[in-house]
A = this chain, B = another copy of it.
Amino acid sequence: MNYPDGIKRKNKTIYSGKRGMTLESDINDTNKYYLEKDIALIYKKPTPTKVIKLDGNRIKDGFYEIPSTTDYNGIYKGNYIDFEAKETRSKTSFSLNNIHDHQIKHLDSVLRHGGISFLIIRFTTLNETYLLMTKDFMEYINNNDRKSIPYEYIKNKGYLIKEKLNPRLDYLEVLE
- Which stretch of A18-26, A58-66, A84-92, A130-138 is in the interface? A58-66
A114 near B75 (CB under 8 angstroms)?
yes
- Which stretch of A45-53, A141-149, A160-168 is in the interface? A45-53
- Chain B: which residue is nearest A43 at the CB level? B69
B41 near A109 (CB under 8 angstroms)?
yes
- Distance, CA A77 to CA B114, complexed state (A): 6
Query: With A49-B49, A59-B63 known to touch, is A68 a contact of B80 (CB < 8 Å)?
Result: no
Q: In the complex, what residues of B have CB within 8 A of residue A79's CB?
A: 80, 114
A121 to chain B, nearest CB (A): 22
B75 near A78 (CB under 8 angstroms)?
no
Q: In the complex, what residues of B have CB within 8 A of residue A73's CB?
A: 73-74
Q: In the complex, what residues of B have CB within 8 A of residue A46's CB?
A: 45-49, 67
Q: In the complex, what residues of B have CB within 8 A of residue A75's CB?
A: 80, 82, 110, 113-115
B68 near A64 (CB under 8 angstroms)?
no
B62 near A58 (CB under 8 angstroms)?
yes
A61 near B60 (CB under 8 angstroms)?
yes
Query: With A57-B63, A60-B61 known to touch, is A80 a contact of B80 (CB < 8 Å)?
Result: yes
A83 to chain B, nearest CB (A): 13
| Residue of A45, A63, A69, A80 ringed by the most chain B CB atoms within 10 A | A80
A62 near B59 (CB under 8 angstroms)?
yes
A159 at the interface (CB under 8 A from B): no
B69 near A63 (CB under 8 angstroms)?
no
Q: In the complex, what residues of B have CB within 8 A of residue A140's CB?
A: none
A33 at the interface (CB under 8 A from B): no
- Chain B: which residue is nearest A47 at the CB level? B46
